[in-house]
Structure 1
Amino acid sequence: MYQAIVFLPLLGFLIVGLFGNSLGARASEYITSGFLVIAAVLSWVAFFSVGIGSTEAFTVPLLRFIDSGTLQSDWALRVDTLTVVMLVVVNTVSALVHIYSIGYMHHDPHRPRFFAYLSLFTFAMLMLVTSDNLVQMFFGWEGVGLASYLLIGFWYKRPSANAAAIKAFVVNRVGDFGFILGIAGVFLLFGSVNFDTIFATAASYVPVEGAVENTAVAFNFLGWDVDRAGALTVICLLLFMGAMGKSAQVPLHTWLPDAMEGPTPVSALIHAATMVTAGVFMLARLSPIFELSHTALLVVTFIGAITAFFAATVGLVQNDIKRVIAYSTCSQLGYMFVALGMGFYSAAIFHLFTHAFFKALLFLGSGSVIHAVSDEQDMRKMGGLKKLIPTTYWMMVIGTLALTGVGIPGTIIGTAGFFSKDAIVEGAFAGIGHNAVAGFAFTLLVIAAIFTSFYSWRLIFMTFHGKPRATADVMHHVHESPPVMLVPLFILAVGALMAGVVFHDQFVGEGYDAFWKTALYMLPENHILHEVHDVPLWVKLSPFIAMVIGFVVAYQFYIRKPETPKYLAAQHRGLYAFLLNKWYFDELYDFLFVRTAKRLGTFLWKKGDGAVIDGLGPDGVSAWVIDVTNRVVKLQTGYLYHYAFVMLIGVAALVTWMMLGSSF
């Protein structure tokens, strides 16, 4: 069964990728979508068998992969609760995206290629989440990077799509460089890349007070001799660098909003189920290592809090409907990393799980809006769509309710985001006293929750309410999406409403031990599961209050007094421009890296290659030879007395040399 779950998407990719043009677009859609639906159903079977049921973790061996010296890496599928949770997320969302794409991409002439890429993307993510060792994980890691490049740049005739694809690929290479160094460090330290071996011996590297081996050099990194006490921290920070790239954490976040250049189903798949969740999964999988490095967890918490706040501020002023949701993804990923930094690994995966449903719902819902308004994405040119596309409207409202965490504190009444996001906020407060940046993280998360509510309802009000701002021709053609696009929205809406209340106890409640078994590791002194239930009432109410504040302000700005946003933007031009330009990260990187690289390249080209290498090398030698030959050629005049004169000079020179040479 598990082989089928993983390899059915690969089979779909191979069939459609090789024979798609012969099979035709419709057959390609049915083959890839059918395989993904089967894989999704089997994933839910695995989820209830391993997670909810009593099946213990096990490994499915596939083949020998690498056997070189002491490096041994077999290709195997690691099946435990963490794996089956990710299988459900990846395959469910991917199957619905495949089905949705049948309607959304109906007029695209390259549908076989698109569906082949979608299946390849899914397979690469499945290889990542089922990996039994770091080398296999890196294979899937790079696979999703490649597939994202292909999908973001799917419309390759658009310069903006090509630029976004290259940007995503390059920025991720920065993080991946750290990841591969971390893998090398793990192998150097533990002599293995297999998870079981690493986890079994990691505890021996925890510094013991007064022990002599604490000062023993483990390895040299950047000229710095790292002792055993610091080795785990260095490795964890390098691995986290890889997670920052894939999961778009500041400062390696700049690729994520530009990824909106790809088709909307691609955005849904990247932001909800694949790619950006890889970093969160990787840290959760390696919890036995990260749990032993307090410094690394502090860094993870700090970066996550900054990212959650930063992305939320930028989302306040974006006008592209997809970019608003993209920055929402970036912010929610920050929440997940705060949970990971607190050692609250199950809450991070719980939010990943619920987030997949409502974020896919929002992206596919935005695709339905774009489909209805003739591919327009600027919310300033929408408005008044509620009555024209009511089904899409209510689906978007459900997604917004889940994202903003609507629910009643202290009860089981709430959307998916209410249970998972509130758990992270409460966990951040519970970490005060154990984590030096916990109070800082808690404050930023609550502020980010206010901003999240504001920009989410701003999207709803600008898009669906008020007077229509589109042209009469566009409004005349507004229409509801076909059933093939709406059915996936209905299914995702059920998850956005029910996933939190149904699975809360298993992920972070009383059923934690029976559900997670040994998939996640926490030190005995990590009591956050118990402490999170003892936080003050005002802490539990804070996300709810933040949600209400954001809603009220958005309603005031965009329904009651829609002229207010323009007035505030004019009054605070500097702040508005700062947020609209995403804190000028792109401009800063362009100044520091892009322009510098171009100037260096130009200098090496013109001065190094042109003037020095070519000037003194091929061009210099050839010019000298030509000059000499041109001078020699002048002696070939054709007159006999010239040749006789030269011969006499030669004889005189020879006699002179013999006379003078013999005297020495």
Structure 2
Amino acid sequence: MNYQQYLLPVLLLPLACFLLLGLFGKKHLKNASGVIGTASMFAVTIISVLVAGRYFFADGKVDGVYQHLIAYKYNWLAFSPTLSIDMGAIVDPISMMMIVVVSFISLMVHIFSLGYMKGEERFTTYYAYLSLFTFSMLGLVLSSNIFQMYIFWELVGVSSFLLIGFYYNKPSAVVASKKAFMVTRFADFGFLIGILVLSFYGGTLDFNALIQRLTAPQSGEFVSITTASFLGISMLTWGLCLVFVGGAGKSAMFPLHIWLPDAMEGPTPVSALIHAATMVVAGVYLVARLFPVFAIDVPALQIVTWVGAISALVAAIIACTQTDIKRVLAYSTMSQIGYMMFALGISRYGGENGLGYTASLFHLFTHAFFKSLLFLGAGVIIHFVHSNDLKDMGGLRKLMPVTHIAFLVACLAIAGVPPFAGFFSKEEILTASFHSNKIIYAIALFTAVLTAFYMFRLYFSIFWRKEATVHGTHNADGTASMKIPLIVLMICSVGAGLVPITKMVTSDGVPLETHMDVLFSLVPIVLVLFAIFFAARMYKKENGSAGKMAVAFGSFYKAATKKFYVDEIYLFITRKVIFNLIGRPAAWIDRNIIDAFVNGVAATTARISGLIKGLQSGKVQTYALYFFSGIAGLAVLFIYLWK
């Protein structure tokens, strides 16, 4: 059997596991549900690695170029002879990279959850939801057409809603799940309109055909979508920007980021899976999937660039002020996704011009390992301390040696310290931005320094600062099932940077040769090391430096702690503007005009029926009276007309 055909069990195993655990797990498989879910995910991971390895190192290239193949194609809905929705699985460099990332991180979360979630009342339900999410995310990255991706895109949103609100008896978790669902629904509406625009002018929903038609200058589709305009903006720009709105919502880009920090109310392993390594990169994957089309539209790419850059910088600043360990990591995720976005935005199609594209996906790859390691490490810490607040932590390095080393490695990786994985991918992004846009490069460099500072602020606040005051009766590093993922991800956080992604995942499928410039890397490394040293001086011991720094920055620091009042602005717009200026008048019109009209029609009908209901009383003598009265009336009329 062709190796591509093994992609079917990659999709069906998580789906079968979800159905099995969801329908029968609670009664019949409660004790074995975690093992079943983990075993299923282990099989999916092995198959994904084998299929991706076969593609990258054996059969994927033709004449030195990686091919875009369709493993399955099933005609689901045909709207016309030329337009249909075909369900299929696409095989190309980014889809193969993504199935490895999604399945591997999901496996680590499944193993970690065996110990972390042990004893939970809804343990089986939790694993069923994890399987549903994994199926949804794998379906999303393997989709061969844009509408198929939209279906799985929405299914990912449903899975996220279920997992964020897993603790349904916790009001903050319920509110967070609804907030995430509503914000992303607004963004997904833009995505849907964008799909309709691109497919209308492109005449197809298939990714390969759509890209080919919209990027070929001689094609009629290219001419029609670039010449048609609305408000002076081409329909190509409108379509791409609307699609990007969906990606920005899912990837928590400014100003659609407000759901991500609140989503930390879900179980910590869920944060590692959904909101650090897989779901939030769906927006990056979407832009990368349509990148050849984005590359020919400069305005759309500029929007991607600046939204990504602003998101990266704003999130990094906010992360420096937060005291909840998971919220710091949430804003860190937003910042790193911003990095990936602006790297795509400054890129162009083909050759060295596509370095930003390759760097973005390289960072997506490395970020998955060290960010999931950070979240799982945070889970172990919270599991031991029973608090998310940094003030309840400190001096834990001796009590939690495994978690301490793992967390330190992850911090070094995300800070971009060589030879850890994050250094290699960040350097590619910095190189691409330096040669493309010096302002973006300055923002990227400053954000990298802030990243090093807030991550080591976190590290020193947790593991140093003071003597440990928390003493639990259980193993501080957790169970073996919690330690194993930390060790594996720690190894990946060191070695993932050595994977030759630049030769495997490029904008045009042609391997890209990159070289490390020691002199260019010297400035970022020195600045990052200085930021780490500065964080150590402030937070390694309690010395009042942090308080003095907060006073020095004054109102700016206060605004950062309040997340620059973005949530308050949303509340003001919704409650004061939309509810008062739109909602209340609409409710008045609905109540006093629309309802009044409908109720008036009903009342009039009732009165008329009351007046004429005697005509059908059921009394024979009454009917006889009506009958003879009619005959008499007709007789009078006849006599009158006869004269």
Deviation sequence 1:365-407 (CA, Å, 0-9, x none): 0000001112x00011111111111111111111111111111
Name the CA distance, whole Å, in 2 between partners of 1:216 and 1:371. Answer: 54
Kindly indicate whether residue 392 of structure 2 is the aligned counterpart of residue 381 of structure 1.
Answer: yes
1:478, distance to aligned residue in structure 2 (A): 7.1
Counterpart amino acid of residue 554 in structure 2: R
Name the CA distance, whole Å, in 1 between partners of 2:115 and 2:580. Answer: 47
Distance 1:618 1:185, change over 3 A: closer
Counterpart amino acid of residue 257 in structure 2: H
Name the CA distance, whole Å, in 2 between partners of 1:94 and 1:220. Answer: 43
Distance 1:115 1:610, change over 3 A: same
Distance 1:288 1:26, change over 3 A: same
Name the CA distance, whole Å, in 2 between partners of 1:584 and 1:429. Answer: 32
Name the CA distance, whole Å, in 2 between partners of 1:574 and 1:623. Answer: 64
CA RMSD of aligned residues (A): 2.7
CA contact (8 A) 1:9 1:35 kept: yes
What's the counterpart of residue 296 of structure 2?
292
Kindly indicate whether residue 501 of structure 2 is the aligned counterpart of residue 507 of structure 1.
Answer: yes
Distance 1:604 1:5, change over 3 A: same
Q: TM-score, normalised by structure 1?
A: 0.83
Kindly indicate whether residue 133 of structure 2 is the aligned counterpart of residue 146 of structure 1.
Answer: no
Counterpart amino acid of residue 378 in structure 1: D
Name the CA distance, whole Å, in 1 between partners of 2:490 and 2:338. Answer: 23
What's the counterpart of residue 142 of structure 2?
130
Q: 1:382-401 to 2 correspondence within 5 Å?
A: 382-401=393-412
Select 2:527's aligned residue among 530, 533, 546. 546
What's the counterpart of residue 603 of structure 1?
584
Deviation sequence 1:307-357 (CA, Å, 0-9, x none): 111110000010000111111110001110121012221111110000000
What's the counterpart of residue 478 of structure 2?
481
Counterpart amino acid of residue 489 in structure 2: L
CA contact (8 A) 2:276 2:330 kept: no
Select 1:161's aligned residue among 170, 173, 182. 173
Secondary structure, counterpart of 2:46 in structure 1: helix
CA contact (8 A) 2:465 2:541 kept: no
What's the counterpart of residue 434 of structure 1?
none
Counterpart amino acid of residue 501 in structure 2: F
Name the CA distance, whole Å, in 2 between partners of 1:62 and 1:477. Answer: 52
Q: 1:78-477 to 2 correspondence within 5 Å?
A: 78-205=90-217, 218-219=227-228, 221=230, 224=231, 230-343=234-347, 344-374=356-386, 376-407=387-418, 414-431=419-436, 438-468=437-467, 470=469
CA contact (8 A) 1:247 1:280 kept: yes
Kindly indicate whether residue 36 of structure 2 is the aligned counterpart of residue 24 of structure 1.
Answer: no
Unaligned runs of 5+ in 2: 1-5, 62-66, 348-355, 611-643
Moved more, 560-569 or 302-311: 560-569
Identity among equivalent positions (%) equals 38
Secondary structure, counterpart of 1:597 in structure 2: helix
1:66, distance to aligned residue in structure 2 (A): 1.5
Moved more, 290-299 or 584-593: 290-299
Name the CA distance, whole Å, in 2 between partners of 1:608 and 1:296. Answer: 40
Counterpart amino acid of residue 457 in structure 2: R
Distance 1:203 1:103, change over 3 A: same
What's the counterpart of residue 618 of structure 2?
none
CA contact (8 A) 2:225 2:236 kept: no
Secondary structure, counterpart of 1:26 in structure 2: coil
Name the CA distance, whole Å, in 1 between partners of 2:257 and 2:155. Answer: 19
Kindly indicate whether residue 58 of structure 2 is the aligned counterpart of residue 64 of structure 1.
Answer: no
Name the CA distance, whole Å, in 1 between partners of 2:166 and 2:379. Answer: 16
Counterpart amino acid of residue 465 in structure 2: G
Counterpart amino acid of residue 177 in structure 2: A
Distance 1:217 1:329, change over 3 A: closer
1:113, distance to aligned residue in structure 2 (A): 0.9
Q: 1:492-531 to 2 correspondence within 5 Å?
A: 492-501=489-498, 503=499, 506-508=500-502, 512=503, 515-516=504-505, 520-521=507-508
Distance 1:110 1:206, change over 3 A: farther
Counterpart amino acid of residue 340 in structure 1: L
CA contact (8 A) 1:243 1:282 kept: yes
Secondary structure, counterpart of 1:60 in structure 2: strand
Secondary structure, counterpart of 2:59 in structure 1: coil
Select 1:33's aligned residue among 18, 26, 38. 38
Select 1:565's aligned residue among 530, 535, 546. 546
CA contact (8 A) 2:226 2:236 kept: no
Name the CA distance, whole Å, in 2 between partners of 1:79 and 1:217. Answer: 29
Name the CA distance, whole Å, in 1 between partners of 2:334 and 2:99. Answer: 22
Distance 1:485 1:561, change over 3 A: closer
Deviation sequence 1:445-504 (CA, Å, 0-9, x none): 11111110111011111111122475x6x5676722000111011111111000102x1x
CA contact (8 A) 2:277 2:371 kept: no
Secondary structure, counterpart of 2:60 in structure 1: coil
Secondary structure, counterpart of 1:352 in structure 2: helix
Secondary structure, counterpart of 2:429 in structure 1: helix
Name the CA distance, whole Å, in 2 between partners of 1:206 and 1:538. Answer: 45
What's the counterpart of residue 636 of structure 2?
none
CA contact (8 A) 2:11 2:135 kept: yes
CA contact (8 A) 2:78 2:85 kept: yes
Matched residue count: 587
Moved more, 296-305 or 397-406: 296-305
Distance 1:610 1:138, change over 3 A: closer
Secondary structure, counterpart of 2:111 in structure 1: helix
1:562, distance to aligned residue in structure 2 (A): 2.9
Distance 1:17 1:215, change over 3 A: closer
CA contact (8 A) 1:453 1:546 kept: no
1:63, distance to aligned residue in structure 2 (A): 2.7
